[in-house]
């Protein structure tokens, strides 16, 4: 692209997960000089790193895959209703290979700083190995759950046993047979890994801070008939990507639960429970917006937990209370609650018995000591912002992104930031991210960013920057969309509540992917309203 200073690349992409791979593929097709840098030694992002036993997606495999390429969709055949991490990783590898992307990716290389040079309008990017590359545009495809969070518990470094974070699980097999294993954290990762660990270890101690709602997955192999029928569903899936809230269909009754009689209500919920997956939260129209409606659904799930866990005291400690269902990410697992019926699995409620310290031999709470051989942290991520703020990004006139986001992230459409010209974020804060099917969100973002770059190229312009007023307006819209939901009733990572000292700001856009896409498309069709192009 044009010239205002020497550059290595037109576009540099950070990350080679699904977002980075798709971005790179589109840039390559459009003839941009491009490259991706990736911290890991392979492609796949989330699915490269999260190798813990039991890791699988909670969105159905036929929905959790790319749609922009009909042939790719037709050629790939999923084996299970909810794909495992190894199968999704193979899909990412297949995608990269098929698109010829591997020569365009530098692996094992973390980006440690990115500085915008205002005079030349070029990003100067530094790697952990000390190399420096210059690119006109920078696209971050760093994921929203990619900065793992390990709590600073006193004594942590003294622990002599093995220690793992679920999001950094080793490639080599971990032998848990006969071992005493402690697991801290009961979110989606913890709830998936705990039954697997319980199947191998001699003793399992689960340290729970907040009980979580979890529903059965109802996972099973896809039938031959389902696999054969998939190609014919392609066009409908493409339509649903832009016309639905999540980017795929989540069938509901279309009725409010508050207007549904007791027996009919139970029949629907039992049906959803038996079907498995998260669709139970969409069975009725009002459970995501009305506390009384939500309580009816939450009570149904609470009763299921009580009916599953044989020891009433343990059951009661596992029953989530004090926040509406769906306001922390609903977890999915086929064996989580039943795992506590095994004699060698013990639950420690950190609300009544906090951890005092980690010792050389295990964990000491205010009530007991737990000798352990292995400690597993399923303690989540500095979600949405962590991977970006940890990267030392400096925009126009030396403005630091981490400093600018100290009071919470502000973006324009989750795609760009005022003061950071030519920097685009895929699934950034302020976009629908994990409140939609993230593959659908990625496809939308990549197409939108590609089209903006093509517009700049065809009109001989070199710089696109979000305007502060447009950013402020979008921040207000993100807050307003969240205020129409019940999300504020829970301490969740959506709000930054899982990280000590992090600003409490609702970060994803909760208005739905369909609405979000329409807004982004109108911005583009109005000459990139809210951007200054030069």
Q: Name the residues that contact ligand N01, by CB under 6 A.
A: 57-58, 145, 151, 166, 184-190, 192, 209-210, 329, 332, 350, 378-381, 434, 493, 498
Main-chain phi, psi angles of 352, to 5 degrees: -100, -15
DSSP bridge partners of 425: 140
Task: Tell me the residue nearest to ligand N01 as measured from the CB.
Answer: 187
97: which residues sit within 8 A by CB, 6+ positions away? none
Whole-angstrom distance, CA of residue 331 vs CA of residue 235: 30
Minimum Å gap between C-beta 435 and ligand N01 is: 10
How many other C-beta atoms lie within 10 A of the C-beta of residue 529?
11
Q: Which is nearer to ligand N01, 151 or 161 (CB)?
A: 151
Q: Which is nearer to ligand N01, 125 or 184 (CB)?
A: 184
C-beta separation of 122 from 136 below 8 A: yes
Q: Which is nearer to ligand N01, 125 or 309 (CB)?
A: 309
Q: Which is nearer to ligand N01, 180 or 209 (CB)?
A: 209
Residues 111-150: b if buried by 16+ CB within 10 A, e if exposed:
beebbbeeebbbbbbbbeeeeebbbbbbbbbbbbbbbbbe
- Indicate the DSSP class of residue 397: G
Give which of 172, 146, 169, 140 is closest to 46, Cα–Cα: 146
Minimum Å gap between C-beta 56 and ligand N01 is: 6
Name the token pair of 186: 């009961």
Minimum Å gap between C-beta 271 and ligand N01 is: 22
C-beta separation of 43 from 92 below 8 A: yes
Minimum Å gap between C-beta 230 and ligand N01 is: 21
Q: Which is nearer to ligand N01, 165 or 450 (CB)?
A: 165
Torsional sign, CA 410, 416, 418, 420: positive
Name the token pair of 51: 């190798």
**What beta strand segments (E) does 20-110 contain?**
34-37, 105-106
Minimum Å gap between C-beta 454 and ligand N01 is: 32
Minimum Å gap between C-beta 92 and ligand N01 is: 15
How many other C-beta atoms lie within 10 A of the C-beta of residue 359?
17
DSSP bridge partners of 127: 111
Q: Which is nearer to ligand N01, 222 or 332 (CB)?
A: 332
117: which residues sit within 8 A by CB, 6+ positions away? 5, 123, 124
Q: Which is nearer to ligand N01, 176 or 375 (CB)?
A: 375
Q: Which is nearer to ligand N01, 380 or 419 (CB)?
A: 380
Helix (H), strand (E), coil (C) string for 46-72: HHHHCCCCCCECCCCCCCCCCCCCHHH
Q: Which is nearer to ligand N01, 109 or 212 (CB)?
A: 212
Helix (H) or strand (E) holding 457: helix 438-458
Q: Which is nearer to ligand N01, 376 or 481 (CB)?
A: 376
Minimum Å gap between C-beta 211 and ligand N01 is: 9
Minimum Å gap between C-beta 427 and ligand N01 is: 12
CA 159 to chain CA centroid, nearest Å: 30
Minimum Å gap between C-beta 482 and ligand N01 is: 17
Whole-angstrom distance, CA of residue 14 vs CA of residue 18: 12
Matching residue, tokens 């010792």: 359
Residue 246 CA neighbour count, 13 Å, CB half: 16
Q: Which is nearer to ligand N01, 59 or 446 (CB)?
A: 59
Burial of 483 (0-12, 13-18, 19+ CB in 10 A): exposed
Minimum Å gap between C-beta 430 and ligand N01 is: 17
Q: Which is nearer to ligand N01, 20 or 380 (CB)?
A: 380
Q: Which is nearer to ligand N01, 10 or 58 (CB)?
A: 58
Minimum Å gap between C-beta 450 and ligand N01 is: 26
Minimum Å gap between C-beta 167 and ligand N01 is: 6
Whole-angstrom distance, CA of residue 486 vs CA of residue 297: 14
Minimum Å gap between C-beta 525 and ligand N01 is: 32
DSSP bridge partners of 188: none
399: which residues sit within 8 A by CB, 6+ positions away? 419, 420
Helix (H) or strand (E) holding 464: strand 464-466
Whole-angstrom distance, CA of residue 144 vs CA of residue 291: 28
């Amino acid at each position: 692209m044009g010239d205002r200073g020497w550059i290595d690349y037109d576009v540099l992409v950070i990350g080679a997960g699904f977002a980075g791979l798709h971005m790179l593929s589109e840039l390559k097709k459009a003839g941009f000089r491009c490259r991706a840098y990736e911290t890991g030694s392979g492609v796949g992002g989330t699915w490269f790193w999260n190798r813990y036993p039991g890791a699988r997606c909670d969105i159905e495999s036929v929905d959790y895959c790319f749609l922009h390429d009909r042939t790719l969709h037709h050629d790939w055949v999923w084996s299970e209703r909810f794909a495992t991490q190894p199968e999704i990783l193979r899909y990412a590898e297949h995608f990269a290979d098929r698109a010829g992307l591997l020569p365009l990716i530098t692996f094992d290389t973390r980006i440690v700083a990115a500085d915008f040079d205002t005079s030349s309008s070029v990003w100067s990017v530094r790697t952990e190995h000390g190399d420096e590359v210059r690119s006109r545009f920078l696209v971050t495809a760093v994921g929203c759950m990619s900065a793992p969070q390990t709590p600073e518990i006193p004594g942590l470094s003294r622990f002599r046993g093995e220690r793992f974070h679920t999001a950094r699980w080793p490639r080599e097999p971990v032998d848990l047979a006969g071992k005493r294993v402690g697991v801290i954290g009961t979110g989606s990762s913890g709830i998936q890994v705990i039954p697997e660990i319980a199947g191998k270890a001699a003793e399992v101690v689960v340290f729970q801070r907040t009980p979580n709602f979890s529903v059965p997955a109802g996972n099973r192999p896809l039938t031959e008939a389902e696999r054969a029928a998939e190609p014919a569903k392609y066009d409908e899936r493409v339509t649903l990507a832009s016309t639905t809230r999540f980017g795929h269909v989540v069938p509901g009754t279309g009725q409010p639960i508050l207007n549904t009689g007791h027996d009919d209500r139970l029949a629907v919920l039992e049906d959803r429970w038996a079907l498995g997956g998260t669709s139970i939260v969409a069975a009725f129209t009002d459970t995501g917006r009305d506390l009384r409606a939500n309580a009816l659904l939450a009570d149904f799930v609470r009763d299921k937990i009580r009916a599953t866990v044989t020891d009433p005291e343990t059951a009661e400690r596992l029953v989530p209370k004090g926040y509406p269902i769906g306001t922390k990410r609903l977890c999915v697992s086929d064996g989580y609650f039943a795992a506590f019926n095994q004699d060698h699995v013990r639950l420690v409620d950190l609300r009544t018995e906090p951890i005092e310290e980690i010792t050389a031999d295990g964990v000491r709470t205010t009530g007991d000591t737990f000798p352990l051989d292995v400690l597993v942290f399923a303690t989540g991520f500095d979600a949405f912002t962590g991977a970006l703020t940890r990267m030392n990004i400096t925009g126009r006139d030396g403005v630091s992104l981490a400093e600018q986001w100290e009071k919470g992230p502000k973006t324009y459409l989750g795609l760009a930031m005022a003061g950071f010209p030519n920097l685009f974020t895929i699934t950034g804060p302020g976009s629908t991210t994990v409140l939609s099917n993230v593959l659908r969100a990625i496809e939308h973002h990549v197409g939108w960013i590609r089209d903006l770059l093509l517009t700049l190229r065809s009109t001989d312009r070199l710089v696109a920057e979000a305007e502060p007023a447009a950013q402020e307006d979008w921040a207000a819209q993100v807050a307003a969309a969240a205020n129409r939901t019940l999300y504020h009733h829970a301490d969740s990572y959506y709000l930054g509540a899982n990280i000590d000292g992090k600003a409490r700001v609702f970060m994803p856009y909760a208005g739905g992917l369909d609405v979000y896409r329409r807004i982004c498309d109108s911005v583009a069709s109005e000459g990139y309203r809210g951007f200054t192009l030069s």
